[in-house]
Structure 1
């Protein structure tokens, strides 16, 4: 089977700018930002949405705790309630926020693909989806992009407190017994990276390929390519592919913050400024995005018009200098070494070659830039080398950095561009580095192909080429 036989028949999004394809598309095309001051989030809404994960950092200055203003803004999902999506509802007790959003995005994608009536899947001898029946359970699979999932520090506080001795020192030998008494036995199930694919697979009755990919920002696109592989090897007829991530959790921020945070801009909603000449870091965000992958022939048989055709894809790893040296830093200096221009170039060229398409035929590139000046510079160099002057869209400018979901957010944004036949604006286009084809107004998509790219600090890069 050729890659061009594959189509995307449904997409779902849970994001700071909208939940579901229509709200997300409207916000993206209007340049509406999901970045807010955390103090402006209604406390009642925050509590209902389970947003205790929102992270603000403080530093000691002359013995007093002073708020780091860079953590005063974020791109949270303020109107999400897992109870509206998760079935059975009792499953919520073993779902952290990222698992809930991944489940919701997948459910939205299934509905968008008009697959609800074909699920849950059934045994092969009962299946007959071509005549409006159910899908064979062995012919539908789930593959998800994920990451290490972090719980709020409060969940472990009692267990750690029990380890503090009379002298104020921590006795680690106490932790085993304290954890048994102070942490719910189901705690681990809430934070396993492979649980989103598990939960969705169970509710869909999917007994086909099931896997989880954890490669940072490229997790979603890598999962998508693995899903394409299952399809081309004819071991599935349908694949549910999703990714979820968050950079808002306090535990994660304290453990792995290796990129610079953005200064608060005025207005605060414009603090996420990838490729701006004054950008100095990223804005923390969260989100999930999913899609349904199938063959064009099955979509036609179901009467479903595809959202996009899959034309080409490529994944490349060429290590960044910081990865090779083992240095992890968040410094803004030319030799900081985060990101790999060579990997991005190789991935873009690989996707074009697979599709048999030239860069001149690209109508838009969906960039991955998120405000880190060092990593954004790698992306600019790659775009100028492979697809100079192709119109550029920057979803992170309104979504913030959504971690493991970010690559999938770019991919579903490419689907939106193809459907709307428009390229979303970059509100601060006049402040962007010279040489990038960005505009502060929506523009018509004048050529039929759109490429979504994603990349990581260590040197992973992906490129996916879609067409109408």
Structure 2
């Protein structure tokens, strides 16, 4: 199927994840199904002392410039991912029309690490020791603002915050800006760096984190023995363009962003609707936007956090709406839960799944939930995909589903 003139095409992908720095490093690690969770010295002494960190990240090397320390980690990750995505798209901030370039970036918490550090300075050393850069580093919108500065993008510049759906919401919002002719190029995605002592302690107190004795097997999406998610960090950024504009540049792209659906559970602050009514509404809206039927879905990149409530509700929704026809995977077994970046990273991986005809495994899946034998096991498998969905759900009942097709 050839892309229609008004289709939105993903022409660039940039990733910074616990599976690796860069698109190809992340893809290869995720397809290998190797978990990334490990004991974290910064979390020593907490009820849960392991997480999934970005490996070997050096801001001086990856971010560059004279003052990379002026950015919180979530902004550093966003900058690196965005630069890779723009280069992958064959674009350059030095030559594009910046007035027509939008930036939409999602984050659940913004500069959480900076907030904790500066609050510690305030309480232990007094207000005179609080950095004048505190607010520009901490405020959640500042990663989007810094991307606009770095990329010379003067179009709409937005921050989305829908908890763990933030990155997917940003991509859907960017698609809307293209449809409204508010921009010709949209740089969209999500970034978070919530592997901090306060965040880890808070999630542990809620009972959301896995308490496994072995970090490597702790993240177990859709497994009968799952007991929570593993906290992670990173960023995923996509470059979106109209299909006609991409073709005019001679660019094929990775996949077509065929549809976006959003909804709210209107149920409970931190627990999903057990019947998945809100998730189903978002899924059906994404299919409607893609002009597709449920029986056309070949693959689902599930939210699949590994928490008892989320996985049960999502599984019930998938079975009710799609049956057991599509393959289903959750990459969180490998990457952990990247919070506000998860939806963007998983959207990128879904686009690569469509483009490359390979479904990543669900690491650590040993005993699937009843009726979920179609969830991809611990090995990647080849599959030609005509339509794929990427699910993202967040605290507060936020739901976002993105639909992808091959470019053709």
For the criterion TM > 0.5, the same-fold answer is yes
Matched residues in 2 for 1:281 and 1:192: separation?
28
Q: Which residue of 2 aligns with 1:146?
A: 107
Matched residues in 2 for 1:88 and 1:339: separation?
48
Change (3 A) 1:294 1:311: same
Q: 356, 361, 365: which is aligned to 1:425? A: 361
Work out whether residues 74 and 283 of structure 1, in 8 Å CA contact, stay in contact via their aligned partners in 2.
yes
Work out whether residues 265 and 273 of structure 2, in 8 Å CA contact, stay in contact via their aligned partners in 1.
no
Q: Note the C-alpha offset of 1:259.
A: 4.4
Does residue 269 of the first structure (1) align with residue 203 of the second (2)? no
Does residue 196 of the first structure (1) align with residue 143 of the second (2)? yes
Q: Note the C-alpha offset of 1:457.
A: 3.1
Q: 281, 288, 296: which is aligned to 2:235? A: 288
Q: 283, 301, 306: which is aligned to 1:366? A: 301
Does residue 246 of the first structure (1) align with residue 193 of the second (2)? yes
Work out whether residues 344 and 461 of structure 1, in 8 Å CA contact, stay in contact via their aligned partners in 2.
yes
Matched residues in 2 for 1:339 and 1:253: separation?
25
Q: Which residue of 2 aligns with 1:130?
A: none
Q: Which residue of 2 aligns with 1:46?
A: none
Q: Which residue of 2 aligns with 1:14?
A: 16
Listed as ranges, the matches of 1:328-339 within 5 Å are none
Work out whether residues 3 and 310 of structure 1, in 8 Å CA contact, stay in contact via their aligned partners in 2.
no
Change (3 A) 1:108 1:184: same
Relative contact order higher in (CA < 8 Å, ≥ 6 apart): 2
Matched residues in 1 for 2:188 and 2:301: separation?
19
Matched residues in 1 for 2:308 and 2:394: separation?
13
Q: Which residue of 2 aligns with 1:392?
A: 328
Q: Secondary structure at the match of 1:273?
A: coil
Matched residues in 1 for 2:272 and 2:97: separation?
48
Work out whether residues 200 and 231 of structure 2, in 8 Å CA contact, stay in contact via their aligned partners in 1.
no
Higher Cα radius of gyration: 1
Q: Secondary structure at the match of 1:431?
A: coil
Q: Note the C-alpha offset of 1:83.
A: 2.1
Instruction: Give ranges in structure 1 of 5+ residues lacking alignment.
Output: 40-53, 59-67, 121-133, 163-177, 329-335
Change (3 A) 1:158 1:245: closer
Q: 67, 71, 74: which is aligned to 1:95? A: 71
Q: 75, 83, 92: which is aligned to 2:52? A: 75
Matched residues in 1 for 2:184 and 2:381: separation?
36
CA RMSD of aligned residues (A): 2.1
Listed as ranges, the matches of 1:184-333 within 5 Å are 184-255=131-202, 258-266=206-214, 268-320=215-267, 322-323=268-269
TM-score, length of structure 2 as denominator length: 0.92
Q: Note the C-alpha offset of 1:351.
A: 0.9
Instruction: Give ranges in structure 2 of 5+ residues lacking alignment.
Output: none
